[in-house]
Amino acid sequence: MTRMTPERIDELVLRARGASAAAYCPYSSFAVGAALLSKDGRIFCACNVENASYGLSICAERSAVFQMVAQGGDGILAVAVFSPSAAPCMPCGACLQVLMEFGREALVIGVGEKDVLVRNRVSDLLTVPFSLSSRLAIPGSAR
């Protein structure tokens, strides 16, 4: 698991919580914020943005990754995800697939209203990601 100082984790959690305040979520009323720490030390914050055509909505985690890429970042060390629920929510499968592309071993910190932190690596949450490579070793397969 990526080694993070308690101060750095606190900063990411605070920034993710703050990002959730900007969420556009008139359909779910579930305001999510993400704060992504890139390999170069920058932090990218984002929120979820919903759309009446649900499939066009975007999660906070993917939005943060896309911002990182658009601003020249190339890797993820950690991402904190704040959700307005008693228990922390982890990123959805689509977000995990995108996070995997830029930070297989990145730390994912989930936090809810009660400030309970859940920590996992991206690779622990998405054990068999989609890949175009035939070199992907699938657990339990003969490949």
**Which one is catalytic: 11, 50, 61, 101?**
61
Residue 19: Cβ-neighbour burial (10 angstroms; 0-12, 13-18, 19+): buried
110 secondary structure, DSSP code: E
Q: Is 7 a catalytic residue?
A: no
Residue 83: Cβ-neighbour burial (10 angstroms; 0-12, 13-18, 19+): buried
- Is the Cα torsion angle 30, 25, 125, 138 positive or negative in sign? positive
As annotated, the active-site residues are 61
